[in-house]
Chains A and B, each alone.
Chain A
Amino acid sequence: MLIPHPLLGPRDAQEFVYLGDAALIDRPDGADIPTMHDYLYLRDNPAGEHRELWYHEQGDRSWLVVTRNTVTHEILKVELARDVARAKGRSK
């Protein structure tokens, strides 16, 4: 797979480390234990479009939010995780 990095252009997926569902960005700090359990352990795991976190470890060390189809492996959209988090009002 080639991941079209927003800053560096198309990069081989082998340069990246995969973390998982991009919902992991929204860590519910200070939440009760059941909420924390759901955040840590439960996943939507869709067959189809999936927003997920990839880390460009062997590149510019940026975190990306990649929207990818889990049935075809087609990559539909790539954003900097920083921009996604800021759009949600984090770290202004």
Chain B
Amino acid sequence: MRYSGWRIIKEALTGHKGWGPVWRDPAPKSEYDYIIVGGGGHGLATAYYLAKQFRQARIAVLEKSYLGSGNVGRNTTIIRSNYLLPGNEPFYEFSLKLWEGLEQDFNYNAMVSQRGIVNLIHTDAARDAATRRGNAMILNGADAVLLDREGVRAMYPWLNFDDARFPIKGGLLQKRGGTVRHDAVAWGYARGADLAGVDLIQNCEVTGMRIENGRILGVETSRGYIGAKKVGVAVAGSSGRVMAHAGMRLPIESHVLQAFVSEGLKPLIDGVITFGAGHFYVSQSDKGGLVFGGDIDGYNSYAQRGNLPVIEDVAEGGMALMPAIGRARLLRAWGGIMDMSMDGSPIIDKTPIEGLYFNGGWCYGGFKATPASGWCFAHLLATDTPHPTATAYRFDRFLKGAMIDEKGQGAQPNLH
């Protein structure tokens, strides 16, 4: 069933009796060519592109809970490609280009809104760094505009420009960045994958992996054993737990990141503002809530909830940047579990076990990467070679000294 304006008019005139379930609810078969573990954004995107772009095959997605129940529904919905380093920027720009054509591609309204993202600048040194970053972005085919103080003021006149510690001196604007309705991304990919013949199997937790002579044969699940020629794991947040079934230790720690939404307000922020120096970023949802967040809590956690000191820290950052936020009431706060990697960059790679592939380590930047992550992981699964934009995302980059460390923090995951 394709969605279209005509379809909506027709259904409106006939009592909406023609809408059916958006995807099937199949029982697992005994064997597949490809099993994708993880029915979140990245897993569903992988299955979608694998079925659509690469080959006709028997593909299943195994999800321990319901589709989109993890980080794809817990993030702050921002898309952007404002990275600096050569290993990252081409990948994220590829992802942003996929976002731009996504809704037409999978025929689903994901509310992709390129409303622009501004990184604020407070010092001359930060302006130099932003200039360099903007140039790196432009060299890789992205867009960047360096704003002076008056340029930022024209967009957001109500910001606190004269904060004693972090006065606003300018900003780096990426106009093509923006926000996307995050749940709809999972639903769109799920529907697209289902239409392409992928079995989406929910409430099916992987509890073990059957590995013989260095080769994966299949996975043990809460719904029985399922054989597979190739298994791709895309379960960021739970990567350590799932890959432990294969006896692997990862260059990853799991950390909790909190996010917040205020009560619905009249239109105030038409883009995304990031105040990195103050550990605060904010946008406004179409329902009017201010969606904002800050840093990770900073200690290993699988709890999907954080502690109060970080809420206070984020609130202080918000008050420093936009004192008006003090009048808004907090509606909800929640936490999601991040795969914090050792250099702040992700991994899309084969593992030492033949037929087992890994996608994870997205830190707190996985949502914007969803389309390219799915595409590149599908490319790797189908061809056994990395996609040209993802060649740097290897396990062995730590052994070889080829880290992609945007912040230059070293092997300290809670600082990335």
A positions within 8 Å CB-CB of B: 1, 12-14, 18-21, 33-34, 37-38, 40-47, 50, 52, 68, 70-73
Contacts and interface: CB of A to CB of B under 8 A. Distances in A.
B209 interface: no
Contact of B301 (A19, A20, A42, A73): A73
A2 to B, nearest CB: 11
Given A18-B414, A47-B302, A40 B240 contact: no
Given A1-B307, A13-B307, A20-B412, A41 B251 contact: yes
A69 B309 CA distance: 19
Nearest to A66: B299
A46 B240 contact: yes
B411 A45 contact: no
B300 A50 contact: yes
Interface string B75-113: 000000000000000000000000000000000000000
A41 B342 contact: yes
Contact of B300 (A1, A14, A20): A20
A22 to B, nearest CB: 11
B365 to A, nearest CB: 19
Contacts of A42: 249-251
A55 to B, nearest CB: 12
A26 to B, nearest CB: 15
Contacts of B303: 70-73
Interface in B252-280: 252-254
Interface of B: 238, 240-241, 249-254, 298-303, 307, 309, 342, 398-399, 411-414
17 contacts: A18-B414, A20-B253, A20-B414, A33-B399, A37-B399, A40-B398, A41-B398, A43-B240, A43-B252, A43-B253, A45-B252, A46-B240, A47-B238, A50-B300, A68-B299, A70-B300, A73-B307
Nearest to B307: A1
A50 B399 CA distance: 25
Contacts of B307: 1, 13, 73
Contacts of B398: 37, 40-41
6 smallest beta-carbon distances between A and B, as pairs: A45-B240, A42-B249, A41-B398, A47-B302, A41-B251, A18-B299
Contacts of B411: 40-41
Given A13-B307, A20-B412, A70 B298 contact: no
Given A13-B307, A20-B412, A38-B249, A45 B300 contact: yes
Given A20-B413, A44-B240, A52 B300 contact: yes
A47 B240 CA distance: 8
A47 B254 contact: yes
A42 B347 CA distance: 13
B249 A44 contact: yes
A42 B252 CA distance: 7
Nearest to A33: B399
Contact of A34 (B238, B240, B249, B399): B399
Contacts of B252: 43, 45
Nearest to B305: A73
Contacts of A46: 240
Contacts of A73: 301, 303, 307
B14 to A, nearest CB: 50
Nearest to B249: A42
Contacts of B241: 47
Nearest to B342: A41
Nearest to B243: A45
Contacts of B298: 18
Nearest to A72: B303
Contact of B254 (A13, A34, A45, A68): A45
A46 B309 CA distance: 24
Given A1-B307, A71-B303, A45 B250 contact: yes
A17 to B, nearest CB: 9
Contacts of B251: 41-43
A36 B251 CA distance: 13
